[in-house]
Structure 1
Amino acid sequence: MNRLSVVAACLLLAACSAQPQPPLASDRVRVTLDADVGSLVRAYRLDGVPERSLRFDDFTPGQHELQVRFEFEVSTGGSVQGALNSGRRTCIMAVKHNFMPGQHYRFELARRGWRPAGWLYDDHSDEPLARASEVRCGPGV
């Protein structure tokens, strides 16, 4: 019985995992979204056009602006029997870059207290190619 539960749990996890992406075409660009543990990030707009999925589809090279919706946990300050209250904050972050064909990029987001921060990297360097800017934060974002 215990073995059956383990097998069922493994099958459930395998079914819920992300599907592998096909190889990147040489005339396209791929951007992966990455965020702190406990934070959520999803594609929002590409060149002002709303995205319909959680990630950006592969797109044509050239100058583009990517916007993401970034939700992260923040401390609300007050104390309840010694424990800090926490809440969620949502921000729209944008990065502009001249994307090269056949390249894979990573849009990385992190929280810095109440402020969001973001950087664009490529697969070849640990140095940021561009720094993201905060478009807006708050309710209704």
Structure 2
Amino acid sequence: MSRKLLPSLALLSLLGSLGACAGREPAPRPDLARVDLGQEAPNQLYAVALDGRPVKDLRYFDVGPGSHRLAVELDKSGDDSPDQGLCKASLDYPGFVAGQHYRLRESTLGSRLVVRLYGADGQPLDDPQPLSCFPG
């Protein structure tokens, strides 16, 4: 094989691996609740920890019934505002139900960035939780 082809093959292999990471989410299990992360462009909201332990997938949380603490990070590096950087928040919710679908969304409340949990019907389930932001 030509030496010129090796770097190209390595690059194609890397791009294929990255594409697999961004693939479709697996179907939710009926014994767990799924918490999807909604975002406002250009920001990216990521799952970080569930009950203090790192999560396997940054795109969502799968939680058992009951009470859980969700930790998220918001990457604002694509934002043009002067306070670009990384924001963090934790949310405690006592009533997760197996088989239900939830959405955690970030938004702006006045001049503050917040996250809030919504049920499958689109209704808020808790009070907005502030994001603590640090310059990038």
SS of residue in 2 equivalent to 1:58: strand
Instruction: Say whether 1:110 aligns with 2:110.
Output: no
Identity %: 32
**Residue 30 of structure 1: how far off its partner (Å):** 0.7
8 Å CA contact 1:43–1:51 kept in 2: the answer is: yes
Per the alignment, residue 118 of structure 2 pairs with 121
For the 8 Å contact 1:74–1:113, the answer to whether it is kept is no
Structure 1 segment 61-76 matched on structure 2, within 5 A: 61-72=65-76, 73=79, 75-76=81-82
Change (3 A) 1:95 1:57: closer
**TM-score scaled to structure 1, two decimals?**
0.67
Task: Confirm whether residue 43 of structure 1 aligns to residue 47 of structure 2.
Answer: yes
The alignment of Structure 1 onto Structure 2 pairs a total of residues equal to: 116
Q: 1:99 to 1:108 in 2, by over 3 A?
A: same
* Structure with the larger strand share: 1
Normalization by structure 2: what TM-score?
0.70
Q: Deviations over 1:69-98 (max 9, x none)?
A: 01232522xxxxxxxxxx513211122112
What are the ranges of 5 or more consecutive residues in structure 1 without an aligned counterpart? 1-11, 77-86
Structure 2 residue 67 is matched with structure 1 residue 95 = no
SS at match of 1:42: strand
Question: 4+ residue stretches of structure 1 with deviation over 6 A?
Answer: none
Give RMSD over aligned pairs: 2.6
